[in-house]
Amino acid sequence: MRDQLQRIQQWAERRLPALTRHRRLEELPIELHRRRVYILPTGFGVAFTLLLLVMLIGSLNYSNNAALLLTCMLGSATAISMLVAFRTLNGLRVRGLRAGHATAGQPIDVTFDFEATRLRQAVRLDIADGTRAFDVQGRTDVTVSIPTERRGWLSMPRFCIWTTWPLGLFRAWSWMHPHYAVLVWPRPELSGPAPTLPVEDHRRQRLHRGEDLAALRDYRSGDSMRHVAWKASARHESLLVKDYEQPEARQEWRLDWRQLRGMDNEARIARLARWLGEAQSQGRQWSLWLPNEVIELGDGPAHYARCMSALALLP
């Protein structure tokens, strides 16, 4: 049944482009208005209408005017609920979208920035087989997760904003397809070799370690006696130990695409992504050398994001 409906829907979208103009990409912000809000009774609404008809015929048949009045009242309330459903969506704006970061295969968080002058209750957002319900008053952020598969640009899927407010008798909906894409980072490989470092780098590392006596910390039991900074401790109340595990002491990595010869592109990207992750978690500085771009030495989340984005955009 569900598949059939979807097939019919796909057919309609193919054959009746006039009805499906909402499939075009649109620029943000998007404001819902009467030309793009559709409304139909829900299944329950249809059933209730039939019940109202039965009540109408019954009360007319028994010429029971009080029952007729009640039926008319319920019918009018139903009609008004249709207008209320429409009003819930009419004038609702999506001001913008903000995407978080995610690697391929992980869901990515996309935040919708909704705006409405009036309170809109029980608005629902269908995106990527999930439904979120929320109220909009003033400006409201709604975050949804969208599954990702591949690195690179992921266009926002078409999504549906709908509501059955207030009584669940009518469903008002509108499709949106904003011109917006989120960048999905490559997925790092799970394990592999560390980046090969040039030999002189090893020497420099040792030298570096020997020189760096600036960082001292309190003695902890188990510290080697050879690492105790005796001179410094003499001027201090407690023992001080030379600390060699300072991040600054870490040697920078030069991550080069060309080092990874003999692998296919995706594997190279996955490895570089893993190295980037390791460098970031170890607090190293690194530079990234790609075929078309060189990202100079740097560190921190912004640098990491820049490098990952560059990797994601590799052909």
Partner 1 sequence: MIGFRRHRRAPVRLSDRSFGLLCLTTAFVLAVHAAHLPLWLTAALTAALALRWWQRQHRPGRIPGWLKVPALLLLVAAIILDYGNVFGRDPGSALACGLLVLKLTESEGPRDARVAAAFACFLLMAALLFGQGLIATLVVALGLLPALTTWRSLEPTQIPVNLPRQLLPALVLLVTSLPLTLTAFVLVPRLNSPLWGTSTQQAAKTGLSDQMSPSDFTELLTDDSAAMRVSFDGTPPPKNQRYFRAYLMWDYNGKDWTRRNDSPSVPAAIEAGSTIDYHISLEPTHQHVLPTLDMPLHAPAQSQMHADGEVFADKSVDEVLDYTLRSALRYRYQATLEPATRMLALQLPSDFDPRTHALAAQLRQRYGSDNGAIIRAVLQMFHDGGFSYTLLPAPLGHDAVDDFLFNTREGFCEHYASSFTVLMRAAGIPARVVTGYQGGFWNNVGQYLLVRNSDAHAWSEVWLDGRGWVRVDPTAEVRPQRINLGADAAGSNPLLPWYESGLWESMRNHWDIVNRWWNEGVIGFDALRQRGLLTPFGIRELDTGTLEKLLAISMAVFGVAGLSWALWRRPEGDPALAAMRALERKLAHAGIARGRSEGPQNYLRRAIRALPAQRAELDQLMRCYIDLRYATVVPSPESLRTFRRAVRNFQPRRVV
Residues in 126-185 at the binding interface with partner 1, rule: CB under 8 A: 126, 129, 131, 133-135, 160, 162-169, 171, 173, 175
Distance, in Å, from the CA atom of 305 to the CA atom of 140, rounded to the nearest integer, reads 27
Q: Which of 7, 29, 40, 155 binds partner 1 (CB under 8 A)?
A: 40
Q: Which is nearer to partner 1, 12 or 214 (CB)?
A: 12
Q: Which is nearer to partner 1, 60 or 207 (CB)?
A: 60
Q: Which is nearer to partner 1, 66 or 190 (CB)?
A: 66
Q: Which is nearer to partner 1, 65 or 265 (CB)?
A: 65
| Interacting positions 47-106 with partner 1 (CB under 8 A) | 47-48, 51, 54-77, 79-81, 83-84, 86-87, 90-91
Find the part of the chain contacting partner 1 (CB under 8 A) among 4-12, 223-231, 235-243, 250-258: 4-12
| 5 binds partner 1 per the rule CB under 8 A | yes
Closest separation between CB of residue 301 and partner 1, Å? 31
Find the part of the chain contacting partner 1 (CB under 8 A) among 5-13, 237-245, 260-268, 288-296: 5-13
CA 244 to chain centre: 40
Rg value, the chain, Cα: 31
| Interacting positions 232-261 with partner 1 (CB under 8 A) | none
Taking a C-beta distance cutoff of 8 angstroms, is the pair 124, 132 a contact? yes
Distance, in Å, from the CA atom of 276 to the CA atom of 272, rounded to the nearest integer, reads 6
CA 76, 82, 83, 87 dihedral sign is positive
Amino acid symbol at 17: P
Lookup: tokens for 296: 């100079």
| Interacting positions 9-38 with partner 1 (CB under 8 A) | 9, 12-13, 19-20, 34, 38
Closest separation between CB of residue 163 and partner 1, Å? 8
Distance, in Å, from the CA atom of 83 to the CA atom of 86, rounded to the nearest integer, reads 5
Lookup: tokens for 204: 């420099």
Closest separation between CB of residue 161 and partner 1, Å? 12
Closest separation between CB of residue 85 and partner 1, Å? 9
Strand ordering across the sheet containing 294-298: 253-256, 286-289, 294-298
Q: Which is nearer to partner 1, 91 or 107 (CB)?
A: 91
Closest separation between CB of residue 64 and partner 1, Å? 6
With contacts defined by CB under 8 A, how many residues of the chain interact with partner 1? 71
| Long-range Cβ contact pairs of 79-84 (< 8 A, separation 24 or more) | 81/166, 81/167, 81/169, 81/170, 82/39, 82/41, 82/169, 82/170, 84/165, 84/166
Collapsing DSSP to helix, strand or coil, 138 comes out as strand
Closest separation between CB of residue 41 and partner 1, Å? 10
Lookup: tokens for 213: 């006596």
